Amino acid sequence: MTYRTREEWVEIIAAYKESGQSQTAFCRERGLSVKTLGANIRRIKVMEGTAKRPLVQRSTEEWVCLISEQRASGMNRTAWCRKHGVSPDSMLSAERRIAAQNQDEPDSEWLEFKLGIEASKPLLQNRNDNWGIRIRGGELDIEVSADYPVEKLAVLIGKLVKA
């Protein structure tokens, strides 16, 4: 693998644009990866501020929340993503990655997303796609369904914190 500097990629991209060729033909002729060329075109646009939308890198926690919101909306993935400016392919990839991380508990009815933050979004997914939340701490184990009123849950947690 050859490492190229930003300046080298700027020159390569300029040559590609001037060539009038497709990315595939240009890369084949020069021994470049089409994927790498495309990624560098995007990176340069982001750096120059000319990208249509900024490059967003999301954490697992952010993906869990977005996936939860999409599923709770009742909209299909593509429509929801288009409405919220999220790449459907990226969301699908994140769903698969998160599911793979949870394969170590095959007997469990729930898939648990381990977060290091407090979250107000559902964090658990039942294998039947029913979203809910589970709160565990010490001997405490609270599990509620997706339709459980958030207000009641907040009151319950408040009482437990004061106890």
Residue 53 in domain? no
* Tokens (6 digits) for 30: 């020069």
Is 10 a member of any domain? yes
Half-sphere exposure of 129 (CA within 13 A, CB side): 8
Asked if residue 1 belongs to a domain, the reply is: no
Same domain (yes/no): 41, 119 = no
pLDDT in tens, the chain (163 residues): 678 888 999 999 999 999 999 999 999 999 999 999 988 988 888 777 776 766 678 888 888 888 888 888 888 889 998 888 888 888 998 988 888 877 655 444 444 444 443 444 444 444 455 556 777 666 667 777 777 776 777 777 766 666 5
Q: What is the pLDDT of residue 17?
A: 92
pLDDT in the model for residue 138: 65
44 and 112 in a single domain? The answer is: no
In a domain, 85, yes or no: yes
For residues 45 and 29, what is the distance between their CA atoms, to the nearest angstrom? Answer: 24
- The reply to whether 30 falls in a domain is yes
| Residue 100, burial from CB neighbour count under 10 angstroms (0-12, 13-18, 19+) | exposed
Asked whether residue 151 falls in the same domain as residue 77, the answer is yes
116 and 70 share a domain? yes
Domain count, the chain: 2
Rounded to whole angstroms, the Cα distance separating 26 from 53 reads: 25
Task: Assess whether 14 and 71 both reside in one domain.
Answer: no
124's enclosing H/E stretch is strand 124-126
Residues 71 and 108 grouped into a single domain:
yes
Q: At a CB cut-off of 8 Å and minimum separation 6, what does 50 contact?
A: none
Q: What distance in Å separates the CA atoms of residue 162 and residue 118, rounded to the nearest whole number?
A: 18
Whether 69 is covered by a domain: the verdict is yes
Structural domain boundaries, residue 41: 6-48
Phi, psi of 132 (to 5 degrees): -155, -170
Same domain, 44 and 64: no
Question: pLDDT at position 152, please?
Answer: 74
Looking at residue 104, its pLDDT comes to 57
pTM passes above 0.85: no
**Are 66 and 135 within one domain?**
yes
Place of tokens 């998160």: 98
Q: Are residues 89 and 40 in the same domain?
A: no
Question: Is residue 54 a part of any domain in this protein?
Answer: no
Q: Write down the H helix ranges in the chain.
A: 6-19, 23-30, 34-48, 60-73, 77-84, 88-101, 150-162
Is 34 in the same domain as 87? no
Q: Does residue 28 sit in the same domain as residue 97?
A: no
Confidence (pLDDT) at 103 = 65
